[in-house]
């Protein structure tokens, strides 16, 4: 089954404790992206990757890191989480072409930073 998986689905942590949210896709997509969803703000892009070893900042990259060592995986790293990073996070992937932004989304990771 074609899918994007994220782990964990729910996470409660404390300020300053490093964490990683994993994302994996099995569709051989080149493009992968991370978004955060906040009430009234819709989805905002954090980072994206056009292919292996190619990453770039989205609209709200501060406080986040990513890596793309393999095509299928695109982990999101919070080196020192803060309460303003409490949010719902989505990973997405797509393949190039005219419909390249028909993105496939993971189920989401709800992060709470206290």
Partner 1 sequence: AQSVTQLDSQVPVFEEAPVELRCNYSSSVSVYLFWYVQYPNQGLQLLLKYLSGSTLVKGINGFEAEFNKSQTSFHLRKPSVHISDTAEYFCAVYPNQGGKLIFGQGTELSVKP
11 binds partner 1 (CB under 8 A): no
The two beta strands, 76-78 and 65-66, are antiparallel
Spatial distance between the Cα atoms of 105 and 91, rounded to a whole number of angstroms: 6
- Contact yes or no for 81/19 (Cβ under 8 A): yes
43 in contact with partner 1 (CB under 8 A): yes
Q: Which two tokens stand for residue 21?
A: 């949210």
Q: Give the position of tokens 């989805």.
A: 43
Q: How many residues bind partner 1 (CB under 8 A)?
A: 22
Q: Please, are residues 75 and 21 in contact by the beta-carbon 8 Å criterion?
A: yes
Question: Is residue 101 part of the contact set for partner 1 (CB under 8 A)?
Answer: yes
Residue 98 contacts partner 1 per CB under 8 A? yes
Q: CA 2 to CA 26: how far, in whole Å?
A: 6
Smallest gap from residue 113 Cβ to partner 1 (A): 20
Sole binder of partner 1 in the list 1, 69, 99, 114 (CB under 8 A): 99
Exactly one of 7, 19, 30, 58 binds partner 1 (CB under 8 A); that residue is 58
Question: Which residues of this protein are in contact with partner 1, per CB under 8 A?
Answer: 4, 35, 40-45, 48, 58, 90, 92, 98-103, 105-108
């Amino acid at each position: 089954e074609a899918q994007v998986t994220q782990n964990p689905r729910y996470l409660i942590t404390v300020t300053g404790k490093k964490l990683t949210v994993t994302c994996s896709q099995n569709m051989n997509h080149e493009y992968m992206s991370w978004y955060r969803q906040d009430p009234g703000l819709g989805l905002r892009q954090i980072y994206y990757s056009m292919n292996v070893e190619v990453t770039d900042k989205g609209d709200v990259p501060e406080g986040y890191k990513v890596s793309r060592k393999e095509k299928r995986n695109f982990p999101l790293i919070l080196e020192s989480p803060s309460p303003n990073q409490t949010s719902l996070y989505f990973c997405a992937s797509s393949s190039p072409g005219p419909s390249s932004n028909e993105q496939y989304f993971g189920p989401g990771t709800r992060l709470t930073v206290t």
